[in-house]
Structure 1
């Protein structure tokens, strides 16, 4: 595990099987200490959900596109709450 400094914010980088992963929670700290609100708002954005659907289609052989379509239809509704594991 390493840290990089981005705009005076320490961001954790974890390497697993020669692939680097950065911490969204650390990036969200740039805006506020209430990182769950920042990430939650980002996860409710239609563009974010569409991007994640494309990524899953390309890289996840177990992805279920029909289930995802139902999920995607709820994006933008006030009741839409994506599951966040922070």
Structure 2
């Protein structure tokens, strides 16, 4: 799919960004129809089950994944004081399954395996 395409799901337009011939789907657009909006992404990324899934996905698909740092994150997840953003996740673990973009097509994007 060419860069910055849109797909329509149940009447909502969702951006799809292609990088290195891999589609990343906008989580920002997907969450836009909910009352909480994009703040849902922040809640989702701090969920222990989400982080376990992301860690497993990265371990399978990313040879540069920082697995020791993931262990630290996984240990802290689930505690009330735990805070994590998608940007922190990417920086701390060298994750490749999610992208945070600024600008015209900005937002939080996830590999289709993660977004679905």
Please classify the TM superposition score into its range, dividing by the shorter chain length.
Answer: 0.7 to 0.9
- CA offset at residue 58 of structure 1? 1.1
- Stretches of 4+ moved more than 4 A in 1? none
- 1:80 paired residue number: 82
Between Structure 1 and Structure 2, whose CA radius of gyration is higher?
1
Q: Aligned residue pairs: how many? A: 85
Q: Is 1:60 matched with 2:29? A: no
- TM-score, normalising length: structure 1: 0.85
Q: Deviations over 1:3-61 (max 9, x none)?
A: 111122110011223221110110010213641x2001111111110011011111111
- 2:43 paired residue number: 41
Larger relative CO (CA 8 A, sep 6+): 1 or 2? Answer: 2
Q: Is the 8 A contact 2:55 2:70 kept in 1?
A: yes
Q: Is 1:5 matched with 2:8? A: yes
- 2:32 paired residue number: 29
- TM-score, normalising length: structure 2: 0.65
Q: Is the 8 A contact 2:17 2:24 kept in 1?
A: yes
What is the alpha-carbon distance in structure 2 between the residues aligned to residue 77 and residue 7 of structure 1? 36
What is the alpha-carbon distance in structure 1 between the residues aligned to residue 36 and residue 50 of structure 2? 22
What is the alpha-carbon distance in structure 2 between the residues aligned to residue 70 and residue 20 of structure 1? 29
